[in-house]
């Protein structure tokens, strides 16, 4: 990874840590921000925190005095290209993907469409839009059961349900519509769940894979299974045949490139019972507590949390140089 000269020379980088925000994942963001603050080397960074829910004007006002930003916002108005657009306008470098890639990856219908074009297997799906009804029977005759019903643009499994019979469809769709005007309904793939991060610019490379085993009582990796301590088991590196690891890592790289992403991302996948690997989605601002999935994978690749944050900021200065 080439270091940018001005990053090395700068005695201390004035870094805006942008966290909180207005999405359903506000609390997840704030928890991660606390850990990032602790892990950033104070000799290299002066960290100033901004919460877009209350601080946007202050961020705009301060932009000229800042060197870079670390976006730790998940979901709407954070992971979807909007804050990236603001930072582009302000000429402030930031880690990860730009406007286009962030917006594409946030929308599960569009990202699945792009996966198909790139030859990446993804579960068959239909898109339901608010006001345009489709009967439960119609959906089930096309996709079968069970299906996953999800808001098109959310994270952390918010608003998602697994539907196992026709009678559960309407409630699940209405729940997803509370969070988004577009809902993706896709075939539920039984199998092993894995996730694979990629890291780098020209030197983009996959990280070791994590296998996720949601605990008893969780039909899938739902919000509780994600954030309640001990609710899931995570095995990193995942114990998989070498050719399966290679294939899944290749899909994570291809998903990242097809969606026009930059710097890092984490692609969630299912290895179905028949051995096929299906891509569910790609996250452009993956969870960032020191024990989150992406940092675990980086650690398994020999990159401790603090060094991972340094690398992300080095790439920020290369990929989104100051205007």
User: Cα separation of 149 and 295, whole Å?
Assistant: 28
When asked if residue 188 is in the footprint of ligand ATP (CB under 6 A), the reply is yes
For residue 168, indicate whether it is catalytic. no
Binding test (CB under 6 A) with ligand ATP, winner from 157, 258, 262, 289: 157
For residue 174, indicate whether it is catalytic. no
DSSP H helices, the chain, are 5-9, 26-39, 52-62, 82-90, 99-106, 108-117, 136-143, 169-177, 223-227, 242-258, 293-300, 305-319
When asked if residue 268 is in the footprint of Mg ion (CB under 5 A), the reply is yes
Q: Tell which residue, 221, 230, 201, has the closest CA to residue 291.
A: 230
For residue 135, indicate whether it is catalytic. no
For 85, phi and psi rounded to 5 degrees? -65, -40
Burial of 176-202, coded b for 16+ CB within 10 Å and e otherwise, reads: bbebbebbbbbbbbebbbbbbbbbbee
Could you tell me which stretch among 44-52, 136-144, 153-161, 247-255 binds ligand ATP (CB under 6 A)?
153-161
For residue 283, indicate whether it is catalytic. yes
Could you tell me which stretch among 109-117, 248-256, 276-284, 302-310 binds ligand ATP (CB under 6 A)?
276-284
Q: Which does 157 bind (CB under 5 to 8 A by kind): Mg ion, ligand ATP, none?
A: ligand ATP
User: Cα separation of 45 and 41, whole Å?
Assistant: 6
When asked if residue 153 is in the footprint of ligand ATP (CB under 6 A), the reply is no
Could you tell me which stretch among 15-23, 51-59, 154-162, 244-252 binds ligand ATP (CB under 6 A)?
154-162
- Which residues are part of the catalytic machinery? 25, 156, 227, 266, 268, 281, 283, 287
Could you list the residues that contact ligand ATP (CB under 6 A)?
123, 148, 150, 154-157, 160, 186-189, 193, 220-221, 268, 270, 280-281, 283
């Amino acid at each position: 990874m080439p270091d940018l000269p001005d990053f090395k020379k700068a005695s201390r980088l004035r870094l805006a840590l942008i966290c909180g925000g207005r999405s359903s994942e506000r609390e997840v963001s704030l928890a991660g921000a606390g850990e990032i603050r602790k892990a950033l080397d104070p000799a290299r960074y002066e960290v100033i925190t901004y919460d877009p829910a209350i601080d946007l004007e202050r961020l705009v006002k301060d932009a000229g005095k800042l060197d870079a930003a670390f976006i730790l916002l998940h979901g709407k108005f954070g992971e979807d290209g909007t804050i990236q657009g603001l930072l582009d306008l302000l000429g402030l470098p930031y880690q990860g993907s730009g406007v286009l890639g962030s917006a594409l990856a946030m929308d599960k219908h569009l990202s699945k469409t792009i996966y198909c074009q790139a030859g990446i297997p993804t579960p068959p799906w239909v898109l339901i839009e608010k006001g345009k009804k489709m009967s439960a029977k119609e959906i089930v005759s096309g996709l079968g059961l069970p299906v996953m019903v999800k808001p098109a643009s959310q994270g952390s499994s918010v608003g998602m349900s697994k539907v196992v019979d026709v009678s559960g469809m309407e409630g699940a769709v209405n729940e997803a519509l509370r969070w988004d005007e577009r809902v993706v309904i896709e075939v539920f793939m039984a199998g092993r769940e894995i996730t694979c991060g990629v890291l780098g610019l020209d030197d983009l490379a996959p990280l070791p894979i994590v296998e996720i085993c949601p605990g008893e009582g969780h039909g899938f990796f739902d919000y509780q299974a994600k954030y309640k301590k001990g609710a899931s088991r995570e095995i990193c590196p995942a114990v998989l045949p070498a050719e399966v690891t290679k294939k899944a890592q290749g899909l994570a790289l291809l998903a990242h490139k097809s969606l026009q992403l930059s710097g890092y991302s984490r692609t969630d996948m299912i290895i179905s019972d028949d051995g096929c690997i299906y891509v569910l989605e790609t996250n452009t601002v993956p969870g960032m507590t020191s024990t989150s999935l992406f940092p675990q994978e980086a650690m398994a690749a020999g990159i401790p949390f603090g060094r991972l944050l340094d690398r992300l900021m080095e790439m920020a200065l290369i990929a989104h140089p100051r205007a």
